[in-house]
Amino acid sequence: MVETPPKPAAGHRKLLPGRIIVATHNPGKLKEIKDLLSPLGFRPASAGELGLPEPEETETTFRGNAELKALAAAKAAGEPALADDSGLAADGLSGAPGIYSARWAGPDKDFAAAMQKVEDGLAAEAGPGGDVDRRASFVSVLSLAWPDGHVESFEGVVRGQLVWPPRGGRGFGYDPIFVPEGETQTFGEMDPAHKHAISHRALAFAKLKARLEA
């Protein structure tokens, strides 16, 4: 007899404060999520700290990959898990690097090289007179999953402009080349508290927080 796996529960599920697995091996992303979750009474523990494997990101959307990672961590740990899939989508590169944002940095997580790749790509796509489309978005999807397969996802998007050369040593990833709309500093230059208040991840987290407090 083949055992039928439990069906994911519909609707919102309550999650009480306590330990939560964060499905990441990225220290910068873990710190940012810790800063957001800790005030709510959650104690984030990363998949990297627990020795959980990183699943292959085989989906074609931010949401698909966030849910894949959250479910893999939740099932491996036997506890609720939170995953983020986020990235930079440059209008002038038809949305690239998009879901491949981390992969553009290679196995050594060389984001200096990844930012150079973005700039080189924009230059190659320049229009007549050398005009470069520097519009871009930062996208984040947070997925909260339980071991039985229940999952809830929340998306945040921030529009802005790409700059060159990179500015600022704060943040991580592509932060030094992205200036959000209405701001003059890149995410790499901003005070972390200000970035946490306006970032794509903060917008997704605000939706998650509303669910957690509901």
3-state secondary structure of 183: coil
The answer as to whether 34 is a domain residue is: yes
pLDDT tens sequence across 141-185 = 999 999 999 999 999 999 999 999 999 998 889 999 999 999 999
The answer as to whether 14 is a domain residue is: no
Least Cα distance to 55 among 27, 83, 33 occurs for 83
According to the model, what pLDDT value does residue 33 have? 85
The answer as to whether 45 is a domain residue is: yes
Higher-confidence position of 1 and 62: 62
Answer yes or no: is pLDDT of 4 > 50. Answer: no
According to the model, what pLDDT value does residue 44 have? 92
Residue 85 a catalytic site member: yes
Answer yes or no: is pLDDT of 9 > 60. Answer: no
For residue 31, the domain's CATH number is: 3.90.950.10
According to the model, what pLDDT value does residue 1 have? 39
The answer as to whether 9 is a domain residue is: no
The answer as to whether 6 is a domain residue is: no
Answer yes or no: is pLDDT of 204 > 90. Answer: yes
The answer as to whether 10 is a domain residue is: no
**Which one is catalytic: 35, 84, 85, 108?**
85
According to the model, what pLDDT value does residue 11 have? 67
Q: Each residue of 141-174: b (16+ CB within 10 Å) or e?
A: bbbbbbbeebbbbbbbebebbbeeebbeebbbbb
pLDDT tens sequence across 18-51 = 899 999 888 888 888 888 888 889 999 998 888 8
pLDDT tens sequence across 95-139 = 999 999 999 999 998 999 999 999 999 999 987 778 899 999 999
The answer as to whether 7 is a domain residue is: no
Q: Domain count of the chain?
A: 1
User: 106 is in which domain, residue-wise?
Assistant: 19-213
CB 156 within 8 Å of CB 176: no
The answer as to whether 12 is a domain residue is: no
